[in-house]
Structure 1
C-alpha cells in the first residue's frame, strides 16, 4: 500500500486541520514557528512533530480560553495551571496519565525555551516548571503459599511436566529473568556442591552479558536433576545436540514465549486469580528474601542489578506488607 492511501489519510487530514487552527491565532502561529524549527532544523521525524503539534495545540487552546493572545503575556502561573489541567482534565479535554502529561510539559518547556532564545519573549516562564513524575510501579509478587501452589500444580508424570516444574523451581530459586533461564546451557549449572556442604550454584548471564553466580536451592536442584535424568534425554534425541538446558518438544532451545506460557498455565492450574507476568517469580523471589531478613545489597547481587536503587523498590513492597500486618494485629492500630 502506498503511503498516501488507506490508514495514512486520516492522520494527514488531522495534521492539516491542526495546522489551520494554529495559524488562526498569534500564539498558534508562534507555535507553528517552533514546529517548523523542530522539523527542518532539528530534523525530527514527522510522527514526532505531529505528536508535538497535538500537545501544543492543546496548550494553545488552554491559553486562548485563559485570554492569553500574546506570547509575551504568558506567565509561570499559566504554565503550571495548564500542567494541572491536563492531569485533571479540567481544560475540557481528556485527562492524561502522568507519563503522557510529562511528555506534554516537556513539549511546552521546549516551546518556551525556543521563544526566549529567538527573542519572541523576554523570559522563559516554563524554565522551572517540571513535568509530573511517574509513580514507582511496585513489582507484583505473589505469596509464598501461592508460589508453592503454582509449583506443585505442575504434573510430573511426563517429560514435559518434569521440564516445566524444573523451570519454575529454577526461576523462583534463583530470581533469574525468563530470558536468563532459557539462555542457560547445561555447563552453566554446577550440581556439585561448592563447598561440599553448601548449596548448588548456577552461572547466569544478565543484561549486557554480565555474569553472576547464584545459589540454587535444594528443591530446584532436585527438580533439575529429575528433569536431566528422566525428561531432557528424550527431547534431546529429537534435536541437533544443542547445549541448552531447557528444551522444547523438538529438541531445540525453549523460547522465552514458551516459558511465559508455561508460567501462565501453572498459575491457571493453581487457580491464582492475580495477574501473573514473566517477572512474577523473580519479583516474588526478591520480596520473600527481604521479608525473611536478607540484606538489600545481597538481593541486589542475586538479581544482578547494577545499582542498589533498583533493588530498593522491593523494600516498598515489604513495607506495605508490614503496614497491613500491623493494622490487622495491633490492638490500637486503627
Structure 2
C-alpha cells in the first residue's frame, strides 16, 4: 500500500509508547489500512490531500457493513493515526481532529442462565466421553487405519473442545487470552492458570475441579494426538497441530452451543456469563474485576446490572404482588 511506511511507523510508535497487545496493534493496522486503501483507490497520493469530508465519506461507506461498535473502534484508530501524523510532522494539519465517534448504546451483555451454562458444560463433557468410547471400539474392530485415525482425531478434538468450554466458563478469560496459553501456564496442583491480558498485563486466575479434569484429559490424551513439530508449547492446538487461532475457538463455542440446544453464544458471552454467575453467587465485585482483568471497576459493574435485571424477572414471576 502507498502509505505503508507511515502506518508501520505509527504501529512502532504505539508498540513502544502505549504497551498495546499484538491483537490491538493488528486491529489498529487493519482499520487504518482499510481507511487509507479507500483513498488510494480514489487516486490520493499524499496524506495531506485527505480532508475531513473525505474521512466522513469513508465512515459513511463503512457504516453500510459494520456495527456501531466496530465503527467506534475504527474511528478511534484513524483519529489516533492522524494525530500522530500531525505531531510527527507527517501532516500539516490534523484532518481527523473533529471526526466524531459513533455513539454506542449502553446495552446489557447477553448471558446464559446458570441452567443453560450447566447444560452446555454437560454436553461437551458427555461428547468427550462418547468420543473416547467410540475410539476404544476401533481397537477391536476391523476398520482400516484411516478410519481409526479419524476416530482418534475426533476424540482429541472432543477433549479439546470440552477443555476450552470448561476453561472459558470457569475463568471468564478472553478468547485471545485462551489461545495464547502455553501448557506450562497451567498449574494443576494449585488449579490456576497464568494469563497475559491487554497491555501484556499478567494475572493468575483460579479454576474448578471440572475444568481441571477436562484440561488433564486434553493434555494427557487429546493433545498428543494432534501435536507435531508446529505445536511448540501451545496449550490448545488446531487440526494441523499448530496453535489454535481465535476464529476456530469462536467457531467451537458457537458449534457446541448449537449442539447443546442452548442460545447461540460467543466466547465473550461465556465471559459475561461467568462474571454474572459469580456475582449472583456472592463474589466480591473487586475480586471479579481482578479475575477478568478489567482495568476499571466501572466495566465490571455492568454485570451487576445484569444480575439486577435477572432479579427483576424472577421477582415478576414469583411475587404475587409484582
Is 2:291 the partner of 1:294? no
Query: Cα gap change, 1:258/1:50 in structure 2, threshold over 3 Å: closer, same or farther?
Result: closer
- Asked whether the equivalents of residues 112 and 273 of structure 2 are also in contact (C-alpha less than 8 Å), the reply is yes
Match of 2:51 in 1: 44
| TM-score, with length taken from structure 2 | 0.62
Higher helix fraction (1 or 2): 2
CA 1:163–1:300 in 2, change beyond 3 Å: closer, same or farther? Answer: same
RMSD: 3.0
What displacement does 1:241 show? 4.5
Name which structure has the greater RCO, CA cutoff 8 Å, separation 6+.
Answer: 2
Q: How many residue pairs were aligned?
A: 218
Distance 1:209 1:306 in 2: 12
Residue of structure 1 in register with 2:7 after alignment: none
How far did 1:250 drift? Answer: 1.6
Unaligned runs of 5+ in 1: 1-7, 13-38, 55-96, 103-130, 194-199
> TM-score, normalization: structure 1?
0.59
1:98, distance to aligned residue in structure 2 (A): 9.1
Measured against aligned partners, the alpha-carbon deviations of 1:97-121 in whole angstroms (never above 9, x if no partner) come to 999xx9xxxxxxxxxxxxxxxxxxx
For residue 245 of structure 1, give the secondary structure of its aligned residue in structure 2: coil
5+ residue gaps in structure 2? 1-37, 43-47, 62-66, 73-100, 132-154
Is the 8 Å Cα contact of residues 151 and 266 (structure 1) preserved in structure 2? Answer: no
From the superposition, tell whether residues 148 and 44 of structure 1 become closer, same or farther in structure 2 (CA, over 3 Å): same
Give the Cα–Cα distance (whole angstroms) in 2 for the partners of residues 53 and 222 of structure 1: 50
The answer as to whether partners of 2:257 and 2:264 remain within 8 angstroms in 1 is: no
| Residue from 215, 219, 222 that aligns with 1:224 | 215
**Contact kept? 2:254, 2:264, Cα under 8 Å:** no
Give the C-alpha shift of residue 171 in structure 1: 0.4
Pair 1:183–1:51, CA change in 2 (3 A): closer
Residue 268 of structure 2 corresponds to residue 279 of structure 1:
yes
Distance in 2 (CA, whole Å) between partners of 1:261 and 1:225 is 23
